[in-house]
Chains A and B, each alone.
Chain A
Amino acid sequence: MAFSMGDFGAPNIVRFGEAALVLETGQVPSIAIQRALGRAAAALQTANGTIDAVAGIGNLTLFYDPVRIDAESARARLAGAWQGAQRGETASAGAPVEIPVRFGGEDGPDLEALASARGIDAETFVTRYLAGDYAVYVMGFAPGFAYIGGLDSSLHAARRTEPRARVPAGSVAIGGAFTAVYPLESPGGWNIIGRTERALFDPQRMPASLLELGARVRFVRL
């Protein structure tokens, strides 16, 4: 299928529950589309009558206050925000957020198994991992949790069949085509390869989340 960066095509907007609308871009997922969705969400978030605007992979949900705006106005607003966002800049996303990581051992209990399953040693795995050009595709799962895309395809790894009951805060992990850092201790099914001490989420800090949609990320060895 032919696909160019400038071709965002016609979106489809459907209602979702009582006071939300979802815009489906209908496009092949890419960081350019995710960044455009992030810009549209940011523009919507500050508008009167918006409760929240949340980007997914290739889609955008507008939660609105039905007392203040009706569904048709919300629909027009969502379509307008997406149109406006497509005209915006996609090139620059600022300097990458640097995340220092200790790999393997107790910090990354799944590193050895992931490496040997690929017939490489842990050092080669880490080198490939560090070479990735990373960006946040979507936020979710938990406060400050970023789905970071750009992982070398040879390092993609299915989630563990038995999720761990406790994954420590700061764990650097791989789930499918994404990598992520667990902001807080939680249950989790991703493969843990290392740990960082950078605080991914701090509710007392402004902004609370270290990462946001579209942000570039660079992992470095500690």
Chain B
Amino acid sequence: MRRASLEIVRPGLQTIVVAGPRTGYRSIGVGLSGALDARAFALANALAGNAPNTPALEIAHGSFSARFICPAHIALAGADCEVRFDGVTLALGPPRSGIRTYLAVRGGFDVPFVMGSQSTDLRGAFGGWRGRALRAGDLLPVAGPVPQEAANERAMRAYPTEAVVRAIDRAAPPEFWTRVWRVSHASNRMGSRLQGDPLAGGGGVDSHAVFPGVVQLPAGGEPIVLLADAQTTGGYRAIATVLSADLDAFAQLPAGGAVRFEKWCLDDAD
């Protein structure tokens, strides 16, 4: 049987293999990892005919190209970029809006399960493809049979540069809900750092578990929204938790993008 694979030509700023979250190991400091925009990742897999959580690529800031060694059936979702695909070579331009584009291939990328998940843990340097972001020359095997002919599906979309996200209150200062926050350049897969008029009341508390969606308030008064690669415990005050359904927005908000928080009652989210 022929084995398909994908050779990375231009990896872009940060392209990683994402799959399902890694659960069950938070007690030894291993976080969840996985796709930052869960909805776009799920859509790419669905369009490629894959089961949920099949390993796909998360491409940050586009400008990516790669060559399939055999014909491939691919699907793209998330941030909209110019796409050129001739059945063998795939090239993405920079996103017109948004940040992260998901590339799924029918059958999925064939990477091993490590500690129960195929997702890349960048801090732990394991999982995904050799525990790291992809580089030019990497040759990623594709699971499953090679299709007769290439195909591509797209569900890429435009993303706004401002977002309103719902969050559950944990005694946040009232101004947290009324101010407009801007996404800082220092944001990454661990967390979205927000900038704005600092809030009072931030600082250290006894270390406790944190998770994607927790809004931390350090002493400096500018909130941090934790994302998929968040650490497992934190020592800053947790003033709110973003609803998981709204967390995807942070995957696509560019630096300088605006975000407002809408106070949400726990029971309404059940």
**Which one of B26, B168, B234 contacts A63 once the chains associate, using CB atoms below 8 Å?**
B26
B26 to A142, Cβ gap below 8 A?
no
Residues of A contacting B243 in the complex (Cβ-Cβ under 8 angstroms): 18
Chain B residue nearest to A54 in the complex (CB): B209
Residues of A contacting B176 in the complex (Cβ-Cβ under 8 angstroms): none
Q: Is B218 an interface residue (CB 8 A)?
A: no
* Residue of B24, B29, B126, B270 with most partner-chain A CB within 10 A: B29
Q: Is A140 an interface residue (CB 8 A)?
A: yes
Residues of B contacting A56 in the complex (Cβ-Cβ under 8 angstroms): 206-209, 233
Residues of B contacting A18 in the complex (Cβ-Cβ under 8 angstroms): 168, 241, 243-244, 266, 269-270
Residues of B contacting A146 in the complex (Cβ-Cβ under 8 angstroms): 29
Residues of B contacting A59 in the complex (Cβ-Cβ under 8 angstroms): 206, 208-209
User: B248 CB to closest chain A CB, in angstroms?
Assistant: 15
Chain B residue nearest to A203 in the complex (CB): B126
B124 to A184, Cβ gap below 8 A?
yes
**Which one of B26, B115, B123, B168 contacts A54 once the chains associate, using CB atoms below 8 Å?**
B26
Chain A residue nearest to B28 in the complex (CB): A209
Q: Is B148 an interface residue (CB 8 A)?
A: no
Chain A residue nearest to B131 in the complex (CB): A203
A54 to B206, Cβ gap below 8 A?
no
Q: Assess A41 versus B29: contact at CB under 8 Å? Given A17-B241, A56-B206, A203-B127.
A: no
**Which one of B24, B29, B269 contacts A141 once the chains associate, using CB atoms below 8 Å?**
B29
- The docked-state distance in angstroms from the alpha carbon of A61 to that of B170 is 15
Q: Is A143 an interface residue (CB 8 A)?
A: yes
How many Cβ-Cβ contacts under 8 Å join chain A to chain B? 121
Within 8 A of A (CB), among B208-224: 208-209, 211, 213-214
Interface size on B, residues (CB 8 A): 37
- The docked-state distance in angstroms from the alpha carbon of A186 to that of B234 is 17
B208 to A142, Cβ gap below 8 A?
no
- The docked-state distance in angstroms from the alpha carbon of A55 to that of B170 is 20
Residues of B contacting A186 in the complex (Cβ-Cβ under 8 angstroms): 123
Residues of B contacting A20 in the complex (Cβ-Cβ under 8 angstroms): 209, 211
Interface flags, B138-177, vs A, CB<8A=1, else 0:
0000000000000000000000000000001010000000
B209 to A61, Cβ gap below 8 A?
yes
- The docked-state distance in angstroms from the alpha carbon of A209 to that of B243 is 31
Residues of B contacting A51 in the complex (Cβ-Cβ under 8 angstroms): 23-24
Q: Is A144 an interface residue (CB 8 A)?
A: yes
Q: Is A57 an interface residue (CB 8 A)?
A: yes
A213 to B27, Cβ gap below 8 A?
yes
A143 to B123, Cβ gap below 8 A?
yes
- The docked-state distance in angstroms from the alpha carbon of A208 to that of B214 is 26
Residues of A contacting B23 in the complex (Cβ-Cβ under 8 angstroms): 51-52, 63
Residues of A contacting B53 in the complex (Cβ-Cβ under 8 angstroms): none
Q: Is B88 an interface residue (CB 8 A)?
A: no
Q: Is B114 an interface residue (CB 8 A)?
A: yes
Residues of A contacting B29 in the complex (Cβ-Cβ under 8 angstroms): 139-146, 201, 209
Within 8 A of B (CB), among A168-222: 184, 186, 201, 203-204, 207-209, 212-213
B209 to A142, Cβ gap below 8 A?
no
**Which one of B27, B123, B170 contacts A142 once the chains associate, using CB atoms below 8 Å?**
B123
Can you identify 7 A-B contacts, CB atoms within 8 angstroms? A16-B241, A18-B270, A58-B206, A59-B209, A139-B27, A143-B121, A201-B29
- Closest 8 A/B residue pairs (Cβ): A140-B233, A61-B209, A56-B208, A17-B241, A54-B209, A143-B124, A209-B28, A203-B126
Seed contacts A141-B29, A143-B28, A203-B115; 5 additional CB < 8 Å A-B pairs: A18-B244, A18-B266, A142-B124, A143-B30, A146-B29
Q: Residues on A close to B: CB < 8 A? A: 15-18, 20, 22, 29, 41-42, 45, 51-59, 61, 63, 66, 138-147, 184, 186, 201, 203-204, 207-209, 212-213
